[in-house]
A and B are shown apart, each in its own frame.
Chain A
Amino acid sequence: MIQTIAGVTVRSLLARRRALLMLLLAGVPVLIGLLARVRGQPGDAVERTAGALDPLIIATLLPLLALVFGTAALGAELEDGSAIHLLTKPIARWRILTAKILAAAPVVGALAGGATLLTGLLIGGERGGAGVTLAFTAGVLVGSVLYVTIFVALSVLTSRALIIGLIYVAIWEGMLAGLFEGTHVLSIRQYVISIVAALDPTGVVSSSATLAPTTAVLGSAVVFVAAFLVGVRALERHQLSAGD
């Protein structure tokens, strides 16, 4: 059941022009990595790898991809009314939400993770940057699941999920969450960076990490479960608009 829904959702996510646009977007950090390699900037390759991956992918590409695919996986269907086929079937709502997350998270993970791997290896691959690149890739995969779950749930709660999600990414994750000590524990970006720092064999990321690894993992788990439950609850109460 879950595989059936996830399969059709993956196909619909990839069948549109949106997927191509997102592929181009994921290509931007790779292009930057390629330029950095061609120009061969001086300095420590490992530091430059980490310095590129944090802003380019963790702060920008990952949340944007998750926002686009997360809201498209279920919210788009609820908006255009085609979710009626899914909602008038004898399927528990948590299964529907699970299937949608299982469809969108791998798509986001593949694009964002692939971009991380390519960009990191291009910048510092054969000069000691492979380890930190792998750590970033793992962090991005965790972040994909978290962000996608949040945005799938958000798209059930509101029809303006794209705008609200964009504001959340830009204002909260981009600015406020990094400013104060107390807000670190409520930031996906800080979770991801702290997990990357814990996995990183070189230790260059530890300066940007603000949370202990256990705090980051625990926070991720709490956010995931909370977003999932909120999404299920909202889907159970979702009212499809009547025609007249």
Chain B
Amino acid sequence: MTGTPEPPATPQPTASEPPSQLTSASQAPAVPLPAPLQPPPPPPDPGRSPIVLHRASRWFGNVVACNDVSFEVGPGVTGLLGPNGAGKSTILGMIAGLLPPSAGMVTLLGEPAWRHPDVYRRVGLVPERESVPGWLTGRAFVRYAARLQGLADPDGAATVAIATVDLTDAADRRTATYSKGMKQRILLAAALVHDPPVLLLDEPFNGLDPRQRLHMMALLRRLADTGRTILFSSHILEEVERLAGRVLVIHAGRLAASGDFRAIRRLMTDRPHTYTIHSSNDRVLAAALIAGDAVMGAALEDGRLEVRTADLTGFGHRLPRLARESGVSLFEVRPTDESLESVFAYLVQR
């Protein structure tokens, strides 16, 4: 017994109707047309936003890590959200000038960062690997960054940056003795030492305990309040939700959605959910569910009942009531596929 009707009319995808001015994904046609028929859209004015990707792609041999991605990032905190391996680091690497795009254009503060080291005067980067030379003290490491930036007063700048990340007490210890959270903060201090208007962070919350995470979030929010452009990557939905006003969802190298976080959150919550139910009488329960409007479909497979619903809250309320009315005992109700991966896959399909 199967019944899988068409999905109901779904909300507007954010990619085509951005609530904020963040995205330019809609400007690029979904399927590139042959050049003679329609010239590609003109490249955006690089002076417009601090970070601009225009149809940027990057491949490594046969592997496409970033596929025709276009977006702009302006002041404030923007989250680059996607599962591991989605291409977030590749995108950040291209923005930071560590890698050239294989195709398309990436500009940072109006010029391609690739082979333009001068742009680093106005950019701070916190890399993912906490590769701090362990034999340096935290203060020496930040002072080194200040010297490499050519600052007039490296000691003073280092002291200010270390105070900003709240690491003054531990500044004169070797970084080999630091915890992961402290290493992240000393990296942030080194990235902030020249007071850059643009800050790029690759997975800044990885390995931090909850308290350190809150501290880091408060810090980034404070930095953004002074007009900085902050772009950070994360594979944790909640981190992005709590910190970023705007979000870019990356999946399998593509920009799956972009814009205001609330709209994307709604997309994620309102998508069809699949549940596996184990009960005393699956067939009776399936019939009752199909008769009502709580589910979009139900299937009996391998002795278990699988249902799909678009209305998560309604389903949660109605399932126990329906079971009681039908005289069926529920033994187990669990989401079949709630992984972030499936959430992203869903967003990409849309």
- Real complex partners, A and B? yes
Bound Cα distance A163, B98 (Å): 26
- When the two chains form their complex, are residues B147 and A243 in contact, meaning their CB atoms are under 8 A apart? no
CB-CB < 8 A to B123: which residues of A?
Answer: 88
- When the two chains form their complex, are residues A87 and B147 in contact, meaning their CB atoms are under 8 A apart? no
CB-CB < 8 A to B203: which residues of A?
Answer: 243
- When the two chains form their complex, are residues B128 and A239 in contact, meaning their CB atoms are under 8 A apart? no
A244 and B85 contact, Cβ closer than 8 Å, known pairs A90-B120, A236-B115: yes
- Nearest CB on A from B126, distance (A): 10
B164 at the A/B interface (Cβ < 8 Å)?
A: no
Interface residues contributed by chain B, number (CB under 8 Å): 40
Which segment, of A8-16, A123-131, A132-140, A223-231, faces chain B? A8-16
Which segment, of B29-37, B86-94, B155-163, B311-319, faces chain A? B86-94
B100 at the A/B interface (Cβ < 8 Å)?
A: yes
Bound Cα distance A87, B145 (Å): 11
Q: Report the nearest A residue to B136, measured CB to CB.
A: A8
Which of A12, A80, A90 lies at the interface centre, i.e. has the most chain B CB atoms within 10 A of its CB?
A: A90
Bound Cα distance A208, B120 (Å): 52
- When the two chains form their complex, are residues B147 and A4 in contact, meaning their CB atoms are under 8 A apart? yes
B304 at the A/B interface (Cβ < 8 Å)?
A: no
- When the two chains form their complex, are residues A239 and B98 in contact, meaning their CB atoms are under 8 A apart? yes
Bound Cα distance A1, B190 (Å): 16
Give the size range of A's interface with the partner.
Answer: 20 to 34
A55 at the A/B interface (Cβ < 8 Å)?
A: no
A85 at the A/B interface (Cβ < 8 Å)?
A: yes
- When the two chains form their complex, are residues B127 and A4 in contact, meaning their CB atoms are under 8 A apart? no
A240 at the A/B interface (Cβ < 8 Å)?
A: yes
CB-based A-B contact count at 8 angstroms: 84
Bound Cα distance A2, B90 (Å): 30
- Nearest CB on A from B112, distance (A): 13
- When the two chains form their complex, are residues A87 and B98 in contact, meaning their CB atoms are under 8 A apart? yes
- When the two chains form their complex, are residues B98 and A244 in contact, meaning their CB atoms are under 8 A apart? no
Q: Using an 8 Å CB-CB cutoff, how does the interface string of A72-88 with B read, 1 for contact, 0 for none?
A: 00000000111011111
- When the two chains form their complex, are residues B88 and A244 in contact, meaning their CB atoms are under 8 A apart? yes
A88 and B97 contact, Cβ closer than 8 Å, known pairs A15-B135, A243-B89, A243-B129: yes
- Nearest CB on A from B223, distance (A): 18
A5 at the A/B interface (Cβ < 8 Å)?
A: yes
A89 at the A/B interface (Cβ < 8 Å)?
A: yes
Q: Using an 8 Å CB-CB cutoff, how does the interface string of B119-150 with A read, 1 for contact, 0 for none?
A: 11101010111011101100000001101111
Bound Cα distance A8, B145 (Å): 11
CB-CB < 8 A to B288: which residues of A?
Answer: none
A242 at the A/B interface (Cβ < 8 Å)?
A: yes
A91 at the A/B interface (Cβ < 8 Å)?
A: yes
Could you tell me which residues of chain A, from 190 to 244, have a CB within 8 Å of some CB in chain B? Answer: 236-237, 239-240, 242-244
- When the two chains form their complex, are residues B117 and A91 in contact, meaning their CB atoms are under 8 A apart? yes
CB-CB < 8 A to A15: which residues of B?
Answer: 135
- When the two chains form their complex, are residues B144 and A88 in contact, meaning their CB atoms are under 8 A apart? no
Could you tell me which residues of chain B, from 327 to 350, have a CB within 8 Å of some CB in chain A? Answer: none
Chain B residues proximal to chain A, CB less than 8 Å: 65, 84-90, 92-93, 96-100, 115, 117-121, 123, 125, 127-129, 131-133, 135-136, 144-145, 147-150, 190, 202-203
A–B pairs, 7, beta carbons within 8 Å: A8-B144, A82-B131, A85-B190, A88-B120, A90-B119, A240-B99, A242-B93
